[in-house]
């Protein structure tokens, strides 16, 4: 009986050991507002680091918001780390502000660029990696390309818009609520001119609230294609064919802006990096389904791109 129990203990210990992740985790504070997680591969010395920048809203380092948990960015970081690539992902500054009940109502889009630049500068100064890549998801694509210029060794856009955010909003609202298309165009035109407005439908208040408009004016002043065409570094543009928020056309605009960039369209991948077999209902529900794996093709494409240098 004792021998049997000993055997069971040995088997269980091996199972536990085999489940240990092939990377180490280290929590880092980069600045007053920016905290994140560094994953370092155990088996091989990582010569490349990928800095992952989250999309719009109060998105944390894992890619989640209060009522939407998919862990997409956490899974991206872990899968890349398994491929021998060190990764750093961080909470957007608004996440920490919400936790501390100290939200800055004067926050601007440029603050996100400052944060991403601070992260990049931190790792450049550490001088621990041969190459540092920026991976920007959704809104993080524009943030990332602004931070990467003249500093990073490569840039990867995941579901990043090619059009100005104002034009993207018009496109999205035309698809989902066409009755508000004219109102949206009017408000966007005002914001593009640097002017706030109170003339918008109540139904669009979550987008065009008066408190948000200075932030939107700052964001809308940037053209992703104009910025990307000046990036002199290896560039990979990735979009999924089932992305409900950013169409394949946006990725193709980015590619046209910088012909040297690589463009990869992943069949059935959606905005949160899952591969969806069904329709829009399954697609939308997946935003809150953390049990799903992210696209294996996505990991393969990014890993191959980074390993080229």
Q: What is the pLDDT of residues 27-61, one digit of tens each?
A: 999 999 999 999 999 877 779 999 999 999 999 99
Q: Which residue carries 């862990």 as its tokens?
A: 71
| Pair 59, 85 in one domain | yes
- DSSP designation for 28: E
Q: Examine residue 260 and state whether it is found in any structural domain, yes or no.
A: yes
| Pair 101, 172 in one domain | no
> Which range marks the domain in which residue 211 is found?
165-221
Last residue of a domain, which of 199, 221, 243? 221
Nearest to 22 by CA among 71, 85, 68, 82: 82
Sign of CA pseudo-dihedral 204, 205, 206, 210? positive
Q: What is the 3-state secondary structure (H, E, C) of 220-274?
A: HCCCHHHHHCCCCCCEEEEEECCCCCCCHHHHHHHHHHCCCCEEEEECCECCCCC
* Domain total of the chain: 2
CB atoms within 10 A of CB 75: 22
* pLDDT digits 0-9 by tens, 198-224: 999 899 998 899 999 999 999 999 999
* pLDDT digits 0-9 by tens, 60-117: 999 999 889 999 999 999 999 999 999 999 999 999 899 888 888 889 999 999 999 9
Partners of 192 in beta bridges: none
> Alpha-carbon dihedral of residues 266, 267, 272, 277, nearest 10 degrees?
-160
| Pair 243, 141 in one domain | yes
pTM of the model: 0.91
* pLDDT mean across residues, the chain: 92
| Pair 256, 303 in one domain | yes
């Amino acid at each position: 009986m004792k021998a049997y129990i000993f055997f069971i203990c040995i088997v269980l210990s091996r199972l536990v050991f085999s489940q240990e992740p092939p990377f180490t985790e280290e929590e880092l504070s980069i600045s007053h507002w920016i905290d994140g997680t560094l994953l370092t591969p155990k088996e091989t010395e990582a010569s490349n680091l990928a800095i992952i920048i989250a999309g719009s809203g109060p998105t944390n380092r894992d890619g989640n918001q209060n009522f939407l948990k998919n862990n997409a960015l956490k899974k991206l970081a872990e899968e890349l780390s398994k491929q021998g690539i060190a990764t750093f992902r961080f909470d957007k500054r608004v996440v920490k502000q919400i936790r501390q009940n100290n939200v800055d109502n004067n926050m601007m889009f440029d603050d996100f660029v400052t944060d991403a630049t601070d992260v990049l500068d931190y790792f450049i100064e550490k001088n621990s990696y041969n190459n540092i890549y920026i991976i920007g998801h959704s809104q993080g694509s524009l943030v990332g390309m602004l931070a990467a210029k003249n500093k990073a060794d490569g840039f990867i856009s995941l579901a990043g818009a090619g059009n100005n955010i104002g034009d993207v909003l018009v496109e999205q609202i035309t698809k989902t609520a066409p009755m508000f298309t004219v109102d949206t165009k009017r408000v966007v035109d005002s914001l593009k001119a640097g002017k706030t407005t109170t003339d918008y439908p109540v139904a669009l208040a979550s987008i065009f609230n008066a408190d948000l408009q200075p932030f939107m004016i700052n964001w809308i002043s940037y053209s992703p294609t104009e910025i990307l065409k000046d990036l002199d570094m290896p560039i990979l543009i990735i979009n999924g064919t089932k992305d409900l928020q950013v169409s394949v056309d946006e990725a193709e605009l980015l590619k046209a802006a910088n012909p040297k960039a690589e463009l990869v369209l992943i069949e059935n991948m959606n905005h949160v990096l899952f591969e969806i077999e069904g329709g829009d209902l399954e697609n939308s529900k997946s935003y809150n389904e953390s049990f799903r794996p992210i696209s294996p093709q996505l990991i393969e494409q990014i890993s191959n791109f980074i390993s080229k240098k």
